[in-house]
Every structure is written in structure tokens, then in C-alpha cells.
Amino acid sequence: MDWAGFWVSLTAGGIAGMCVDLILFPLDTIKTRLQSPQGFKKAGGFREIYAGVPSVAVGSFPNAAAFFVTYEFVKSVLATVTPLYLSPVTHMAAASSGEVVACLIRVPSEVVKQRAQVSPSSSTFQVLSNTLYQEGIQGLYRGYKSTVLREIPFSLVQFPVWEALKDLWSWKQGHVVDSWQSATCGAFAGPRIFSALYVLVSWGIVCSHSCLQIKLVTSCPTFSGPGEQLITILFITALNVLEDLSISSAVFFSQD
């Protein structure tokens, strides 16, 4: 990857990531509060759904930029030493590397954001200061491993599918796909709805990830009965599908 490609990946990836995070922030706040052991209402309900947004505004650009720069760099290096039929493996390795690097920026931002979301009375700066004072820098990386383990499986599927759809569309029309076409490919490459098992395991993954990542969430939420638990699981799953299918993947991948 040359310097021109580096700056394109850095800028386009950063802007796309920031747009996604800011647009979907209210949905993310609702999901976080649904997972809080305090209960949805006590965690803030629908009040101040932009609590914690400063940490996202600061962290989303470098997070997405770091991912795409790493992704494009690893992909360009591996493409010179691997045959064409192993392109999906190249994309898997590049996406995994991108997630590992990006999470170095993403996790501290997520920790501060999620703690602010379930404590809307505290400012983002107060949450950050309390975390550093009580736990040190290690507190900002609480849940790093679980975040990486959560993100990599999706990237292993999403990016090879995205690249394959772009290649197929480019071949069909005789030229490289445009940005809106890349966004469309991303929208269909990303939805978790294609995995029926996701509905069954999403609650366990999300809940365990939150419990590990956020100091405030020291135990998984309790429910008054199986009906309430099922409704919560389905609602969070629906929010995840909505993010992937309608907005998140489309905006994120339109930077190509």
C-alpha cells in the first residue's frame, strides 16, 4: 500500500466509522441500559440517550481509521504472497489484524461510553477521571480480550463476503464498484440475521462481554420471568440486526 492509499484509508475509514457511531449512538445506549443489572429504567431509560457521546466522538475516528489502515496494509502484503484462490483467507487475516489493532482504541472508548450510559448523571470526563483514579489505565482496557473475541468471528465472515460481492458486481458491470454499490454490498455482507443461532447465543455473548468490560456491570441482569428475558433477548437482537442491515454496514463500507 502506497502513501496515497494509506491516507485514503485513514481518512475515509475514520469518517465512515465516526458517522456510524454517532448515527447509531441512541440505539447503543438503549442496548446498554437493557443489559444493566439496575434495570432499564434505573439505568436511565430513554432519558439522555446521548450520555457518553463525547468518548465516541473522540474515539470513533482513530478507531475506524486504525482498522482500515491495518486491513488495507495486511491485505496488500498478503496479496503479493498468496494465490488468488486464497483471497478469502487473505481478507480474513487482514480483518482479524484490523480488529486487534482497532480494539486498542475502541475498548477504552467503549468502557467510558458504557459507564456514562448507565450513569447519565455523571459527565464523560467524570467517568474517565473516576476510572483512572480507581483502576488506573488497566481499567480502560477491561474486557479487551472479550471484545476482540467478539469482533473477530463477525469480521471473518463479513469482510470476505463484502470483497466477494464487490468483485462479483465489478465483473458483472465491467468496472470497479462505486461507493453506493460498495455500501450495498456491505449492507448484505454484515447482517447477523443470516445466522439463526445468533438469536440463541446473542444474549450470552453480549451479557458476558458487558460483565467483563464494564466495572459497573458486575453481574448479568436478572429477570422476573422467562417472558421478560425472551422479550429482552429478541429486542436486543432486533436492534443488532437493524444496525447491521440498514445503517451500520452500509455507511461503514461506503468509504471504499
Which pLDDT score, from 0 to 100, does residue 150 have? Answer: 84
What are the E-state strand segments in 114-224?
none
Which pLDDT score, from 0 to 100, does residue 78 have? Answer: 93
Closest CA to 29 of 198, 172, 212, 239: 239
Which pLDDT score, from 0 to 100, does residue 58 have? Answer: 81
Which pLDDT score, from 0 to 100, does residue 243 have? Answer: 55
Contact 190, 249 (CB under 8 A): yes
Any idea which residue has 433477548 for its cell? Answer: 233
CA torsion sign, 39 to 44 to 50 to 51? Answer: negative
Does the global pTM surpass 0.95? no
Return d(Cα 80, Cα 63) in angstroms, integer: 27
- ∠ CA 204-210-214, rounded to 5°: 160
| Mean pLDDT by groups of 10 residues along the chain of 256 residues | 66 74 79 76 79 79 87 91 90 94 91 83 85 90 89 87 90 87 77 47 48 43 50 58 51 54
User: Which triple of cell numbers denotes residue 189?
Assistant: 455482507
User: Which triple of cell numbers denotes residue 175?
Assistant: 468496472
Residue environment code for 74-100, b if the CB has 16+ CB neighbours within 10 A, otherwise e: bbeebeeeeeeeebeebbbbbbbbbbe
Contact 211, 219 (CB under 8 A): yes
Which pLDDT score, from 0 to 100, does residue 242 have? Answer: 55
Residue 120's alpha-carbon distances to 38, 105, 133, 149, 184, in angstroms, are 13, 23, 19, 29, 36
Which pLDDT score, from 0 to 100, does residue 218 have? Answer: 34
Contact 206, 35 (CB under 8 A): yes
Which pLDDT score, from 0 to 100, does residue 21 have? Answer: 76
Cβ atoms < 10 Å from Cβ of 56: 24
Cβ atoms < 10 Å from Cβ of 186: 26
